[in-house]
């Protein structure tokens, strides 16, 4: 009840300010998305505890938001996020406070367009999403559920300044990761049509927090990483290569960083024509003493994105460990509603091709409408020594977005 009263008070104050400033609230639009995701994972082998483990969960998340204009060049966004696991409440349900305690404000911001009276320039202040969902470098937002992952929504308090005009899209950010003076700031620039069919992206981020507190330098709170990603499109073929380097505990491009840096290479080759598509991705992480820290969202495979923690000591959001992945995939649309995909992922320790492990996934998506779809998938782990361990997964669920 206190939260509802607080929300009502905020709206009342906002309405009075709007009236006093002769502001006009208009163009109200609701938006939302969510997922119901079920997974049953079966694992057994020498590194599994217990020796045979069956685990099944159904996780859900939902985002509901509202956008509206405060003035001709000022827009506002407010969104609430909810996530839970089925069965977390008792059979008689939970009280209202119990549910309210699981709801988070994931967006609450104002965006000023034509900022400083400059065409193409905008600034957003407050709680917000940031980045693109398939980004390796930086993404805060709605994440597709995968395996045991239930941290489906992330956002941060930040100021972002963006510029988009004449083929140039740039965004600078300063944000707080938590209430302990842990922050991130950076710049991401995309340039389209450098030449015919050629685009490029350049980014640099500085994470100032304790994630780098074991770095062997006097400046342990600095963690900088930078990257470049050119993309070439030739008819139905797309080629992209991303190279990024981290500087654990050092200022960017310091001459002392050689023994403590890490780097990634990610190359994508894609072909799409009519109802058929083919994909090839190579990912390699080479580390020297320190993890590669990023806030991206590269989680390949139905199994590998979650269970590689047992194989390579982590492949999930932060702490990627000397690993290379080769992903070959094919997509086929049987009709406008049903699409099938098959993927093979080959995992090895970086620069080593023996003791390889693989994963074979088959997934399907069925569109019930433009805004609602069903999905399902089966995956199996193909170990170099099948007696060492086995992992299988069965996943299904529902997506919606409006």
Record the tokens describing residue 35, joined without a space.
């997922």
Q: What is the mean pLDDT of residues 114-125?
A: 92
Angle 173-174-178 from CA coordinates, rounded to 5°: 125
Per-residue pLDDT band at 375 (split at 50, 70, 90): very high
pLDDT at 53: 62
User: DSSP per residue over 111-158, as a string?
Assistant: EEESGGG-TTEEEEEEEE-EE-TT-SSBEESB----TT----B--EEE
Q: What is the mean pLDDT of residues 221-238?
A: 88
218/11: higher pLDDT:
11
Contact 328, 360 (CB under 8 A): no
pLDDT at 289: 55
Mean pLDDT of all residues in the chain? Answer: 78
Contact 140, 154 (CB under 8 A): yes
pLDDT at 22: 54
Dihedral of CA 23/29/35/36: which sign? positive
Helix (H) or strand (E) holding 100: helix 96-100
Give residue-wise pLDDT tens across range 158-189.
999 999 999 999 999 999 887 666 788 899 99
Q: Give the C-alpha separation, 185 to 209, whole Å.
A: 11
pLDDT at 181: 66
- Centre a 10 Å sphere on the Cβ of residue 321 and count the other Cβ atoms it contains: 18
299/356: higher pLDDT:
299
Record the tokens describing residue 250, joined without a space.
């050092």
- Centre a 10 Å sphere on the Cβ of residue 96 and count the other Cβ atoms it contains: 11
Residue recorded with tokens 């057994």: 44
52/197: higher pLDDT:
197
Looking at the domain 28-401, which fold is it? Porin (2.40.160)
pLDDT at 291: 59
pLDDT at 261: 64
Please check the confidence at residue 319 and state whether its pLDDT lies above 50.
no
> Which of 111-116's residues contact partners 24+ apart within 8 Å by CB, and which partners?
111/74, 111/75, 111/76, 111/77, 112/73, 112/74, 113/73, 113/74, 113/75, 114/73, 115/161
141/224: higher pLDDT:
141
pLDDT at 79: 96
86 Cα distance to chain centroid: 23
The whole model's pTM is what? 0.80
């Amino acid at each position: 009840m206190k939260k509802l009263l607080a929300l009502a008070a905020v709206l009342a104050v906002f309405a009075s300010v709007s009236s006093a400033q002769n502001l006009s609230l208009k163009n109200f639009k609701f938006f939302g998305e969510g997922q119901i995701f079920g997974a049953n994972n079966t694992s057994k082998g020498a590194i599994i505890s217990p020796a045979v483990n069956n685990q099944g969960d159904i996780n859900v998340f939902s985002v509901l938001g509202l956008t509206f204009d405060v003035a001709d060049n000022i827009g506002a966004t407010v969104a609430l996020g909810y996530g839970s696991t089925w069965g977390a409440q008792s059979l008689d349900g939970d009280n209202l406070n119990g549910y309210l305690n699981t709801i988070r404000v994931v967006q609450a911001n104002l965006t000023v367009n034509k900022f400083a009276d400059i065409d193409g320039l905008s600034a957003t202040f407050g709680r917000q999403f940031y980045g693109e969902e398939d980004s390796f470098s930086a993404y805060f937002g709605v994440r597709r559920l995968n395996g045991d992952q239930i941290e489906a929504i992330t956002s941060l308090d930040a100021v972002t300044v963006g510029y988009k005009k004449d083929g140039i899209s740039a965004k600078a950010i300063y944000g707080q990761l938590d209430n302990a003076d842990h922050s991130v700031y950076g710049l991401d620039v995309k340039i389209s049509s450098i030449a015919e069919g050629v685009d490029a992206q350049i980014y640099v981020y500085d994470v100032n927090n304790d994630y780098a507190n074991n770095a062997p330098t006097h400046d342990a709170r600095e963690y900088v990483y930078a990257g470049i990603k050119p993309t070439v499109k030739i008819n139905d073929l797309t080629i992209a290569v991303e190279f990024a380097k981290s500087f654990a505990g050092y200022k960017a491009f310091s001459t002392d960083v050689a023994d403590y840096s890490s780097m990634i290479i990610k190359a994508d080759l894609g072909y799409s024509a009519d109802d058929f598509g083919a994909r090839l991705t190579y990912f390699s992480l080479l580390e020297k003493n320190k993890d590669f820290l990023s806030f991206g969202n590269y989680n390949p495979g139905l199994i590998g994105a979650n269970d590689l923690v047992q194989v390579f000591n982590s492949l999930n959001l932060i702490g990627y460990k000397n690993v290379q992945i080769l992903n070959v995939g094919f997509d086929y649309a049987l009709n406008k509603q049903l699409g099938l995909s098959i993927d093979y992922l080959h995992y090895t320790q970086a620069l080593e091709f023996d003791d390889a492990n693989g994963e074979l996934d088959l997934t399907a998506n069925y569109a019930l409408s433009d805004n609602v779809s069903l999905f399902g998938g089966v995956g199996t782990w193909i170990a170099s020594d099948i007696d060492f361990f086995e992992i299988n997964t069965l996943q299904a669920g529902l997506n919606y977005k409006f």
